[in-house]
Chains A and B, each alone.
Chain A
Amino acid sequence: MIDFKLFQHPQRYIGNEWNVIKKSHNKRIPICLCYPDSYEIGMSNLGLRIIYSLLNDSDDIVCERAFFPGEDFNNFLLNNNQKLFSLETKTPLANFEVLGFNFNYELNFVNFLYILSLAKIPLFSRARKDLIVLGGGIANPESLADFVDVFYIGEFEAGTASFIEVLRKYKDKKSRLEALCEIEGFYVPAFYSAELKNDKYEFNKIYSYAKLPVKRTYVSNLDKSHYPLKWLTPHTAIVHDRVPIEIARGCPNRCTFCQARAMYYPYREKKAETVCRIIREIYKNSGYENFSLLSLSSSDYSQIEELIDILFAEFKQKRIGLALPSLRADDILGKLYSKLHLLRKTSLTVAIESANDSLRNHIGKKIDIKKLFETARLIRTFNLKHIKLYFMIGFKEETEEDLRAIGLFLEKLNQETHLSLNVSINVFVPKPFSLREDATMAEKDTLLDKINIVKNGLPKRRSINISISPVEKSILEAIISRADRKFSSVILDVSKASCNNRNAAGNWLIWQEAMSKNHIDCAAYLKAETINFPWSFINTGLPECNLKKHE
């Protein structure tokens, strides 16, 4: 038995949360969900909880969890020649039949390989005998094609039943993968070839029963889809320490830079009464004191007023906190004005993206600046102290004037409202499946120049806090998210470097070195004004995706 008090935050490794599911492995198919980031971040992920609960609902499946360990625990495993194990039954990861990984953040790809090596599992798909590595939450899976046996493209709730069926019916890796590749949503990279010929990717099936294109799947009825009611409740605070209640999935807006719109397409809602039933049930099972209503744009939820009224009436006595993120400024002026004070809310977040009206229209962001000013004045009456604003720079059509407008806008807003402003300025990354996937990413020097223009125009006031995303990190995200199969050798090298340097994944120089060693020209991934990409074999189901394929 390991003495967990040797480590910082021992609760990361114990696995005794309220509602944790512990089953014996006897005559069951063991699956471990691995999150390539810390416990605190992973436990804030809704997808992990939905899949954990959904898989464990089958009596013949036992689903457990593992996370990227802290430095001290990592060193302990290495020094004692121990393998990374699951939280629930402390079973080494190598003893599971399936390991599921979430790949929603590119810089975590390195942690994924690191977890495999800590568990002493071969990194390459072809080198593993029985164990299946399943990947999900990813837009473009190609840079991981050599390491992952099968990806699920889309929402796993839609494929869970058929996945379990295959695991029951077939017992060896080869027949399992062959059966999976015939089912919609499952992508087995080894059954396809992807080659770059004359600047165009050619995709071909190697195994004739595989599907091409690979169709992204989704839950058709969100109202009836599975929700983890026996909420896993850690005995300690985690990053987002509230229960997210998904009220809608997808987004009806068309912001051109947005990838989430494609990843969660189409827009679907849960009924207000379903949302209330879920909250009531989770509260009874967990005793959680904070809930947040989750969606990409809660302003678009059709029953928003009704929902807030019912929830507030029911939970006021119990002092339950309700948060409503992602509101549009015009809703606060309009229908939600009288409801806002009911919510426990200390700030308003507005993703304004650009201070210039025409550029904002150009990128598809519908925000009325006049209304924002009115709203800002209004929210002072609710005891709100600050506004969080998001800007995005690095668009092709952006002028110096647009960049300077950010500073002028902030100064005016701050002067007129006396609210403190938390401003976050991000760099535009042309993500796969966004409406701007065919845009060229601005080069590093151009971006640095642009940032300087913005910085010089910023008002120097204590009540305005500015954070600017590091350019190199954004470029890395762009490269990894847009990469093809050749890039796997780079990820492998950076993962090896992370054995000695835990911060390797965020270090531009280490990536640069790995790219030049493997003869990868990253500029090729970033210059992409074409209609054919490494990820073009996937059909997201978006209307414009179908149009493009016919061109």
Chain B
Amino acid sequence: MNEQRFLIKAVIKKSDEMIYFSQIDLGLVLERALRRAELPLYFTQGFRPRVKLSFSRALKLGVEGEEEVTFYFSKNITPQELQEKLKKQLPHGLTILKIIE
């Protein structure tokens, strides 16, 4: 990997209608939210690049829960910028509880 990458960890809460969406769906929802937020994205390598994200553990389908997500960016952004821009793009039922680092 030649490109520089910058990591921000956050805790995200899944509630209301969003509890019916799987872990794979959650990745998709966050990827599209990040794209809409026009943040400097960092992509996975390979034939079909995706926005890179990693999860600490998978949440169960059908119940509320919190989990740690690591966001990867190609430029250094402040946690405040992430929180402000992403918040507007998250569907009802997904909330950023806190930014860890």
Residues of A within 8 A of B (CB): 4-5, 10-11, 14, 16, 18, 233, 235-237, 283-289, 318-319, 321, 344
Report the nearest A residue to B43, measured CB to CB. Answer: A319
Given A5-B61, A5-B62, A16-B93: A318 touches B35 (CB 8 Å cut-off): yes
Residues in A neighbouring B89, C-beta threshold 8 A: 287
Once the chains bind, are A11 and B25 in contact (CB under 8 Å)? yes
Report the nearest A residue to B32, measured CB to CB. Answer: A287
Which of B31, B49, B61, B92 interacts with A16 by CB under 8 Å? B92
Q: Is B17 in the interface zone, CB < 8 Å from A?
A: yes
17 additional A-B residue pairs with CB within 8 Å, beyond A5-B19, A10-B20, A16-B93 = A5-B61, A11-B21, A11-B25, A14-B17, A16-B18, A18-B32, A235-B18, A235-B91, A236-B25, A237-B25, A286-B32, A287-B32, A287-B34, A289-B35, A289-B50, A319-B43, A319-B50
Q: Is B36 in the interface zone, CB < 8 Å from A?
A: yes
Residues in B neighbouring A237, C-beta threshold 8 A: 24-25, 28
Residues in A neighbouring B24, C-beta threshold 8 A: 237
Report the nearest A residue to B38, measured CB to CB. Answer: A284
Residues in B neighbouring A288, C-beta threshold 8 A: 32, 35
**CA of A285 to CA of B29, assembled, Å:** 13
Q: Number of contacts between A and B (CB, 8 Å)? A: 60
Residues in B neighbouring A236, C-beta threshold 8 A: 21-22, 25, 28
Number of interface residues of B (CB under 8 A): 29
Once the chains bind, are B43 and A235 in contact (CB under 8 Å)? no
**CA of A199 to CA of B32, assembled, Å:** 58
A484 to B: closest C-beta gap in Å? 45
Residues in A neighbouring B50, C-beta threshold 8 A: 289, 319
Report the nearest B residue to A3, measured CB to CB. Answer: B62
Q: Which residues of B7-26 have CB atoms within 8 Å of chain A's CB atoms? A: 17-22, 24-25
18 contacts between A and B (CB under 8 A): A5-B20, A11-B21, A14-B17, A16-B17, A235-B29, A236-B25, A237-B24, A237-B25, A284-B36, A284-B38, A285-B36, A286-B32, A286-B36, A287-B34, A288-B32, A289-B31, A319-B49, A321-B48
Residues in B neighbouring A233, C-beta threshold 8 A: 32
Once the chains bind, are A11 and B36 in contact (CB under 8 Å)? no
Once the chains bind, are B35 and A16 in contact (CB under 8 Å)? no
Contact with A along B48-81 (1 / 0, CB 8 A): 1110000000000110000000000000000000
Report the nearest B residue to A319, measured CB to CB. Answer: B49
Q: Is B96 in the interface zone, CB < 8 Å from A?
A: no
Residues in B neighbouring A319, C-beta threshold 8 A: 41, 43, 49-50
Q: Is B33 in the interface zone, CB < 8 Å from A?
A: yes
Residues in B neighbouring A284, C-beta threshold 8 A: 36, 38
Given A14-B17, A318-B41, A321-B48: A235 touches B25 (CB 8 Å cut-off): yes
Residues in B neighbouring A289, C-beta threshold 8 A: 31-32, 35, 50
B4 to A: closest C-beta gap in Å? 16
Kindly list the 4 A-B residue pairs having the minimum CB-CB distance in the complex, ordered from nearest: A287-B32, A287-B35, A5-B62, A10-B20
Residues in B neighbouring A18, C-beta threshold 8 A: 32, 91
B68 to A: closest C-beta gap in Å? 20
**CA of A14 to CA of B31, assembled, Å:** 21
A321 to B: closest C-beta gap in Å? 7
Once the chains bind, are A235 and B35 in contact (CB under 8 Å)? no
Residues in B neighbouring A10, C-beta threshold 8 A: 20
**CA of A235 to CA of B30, assembled, Å:** 9
Which of A4, A16, A283, A344 interacts with B91 by CB under 8 Å? A16
**CA of A16 to CA of B50, assembled, Å:** 24
Report the nearest A residue to B89, measured CB to CB. Answer: A287
Residues in A neighbouring B17, C-beta threshold 8 A: 14, 16
Residues in A neighbouring B19, C-beta threshold 8 A: 5
Residues in A neighbouring B20, C-beta threshold 8 A: 4-5, 10-11, 14
**CA of A4 to CA of B21, assembled, Å:** 11
Report the nearest B residue to A20, measured CB to CB. Answer: B91
Which of A11, A285, A286, A344 interacts with B48 by CB under 8 Å? A344
Residues in A neighbouring B43, C-beta threshold 8 A: 319
**CA of A5 to CA of B36, assembled, Å:** 29
A21 to B: closest C-beta gap in Å? 14
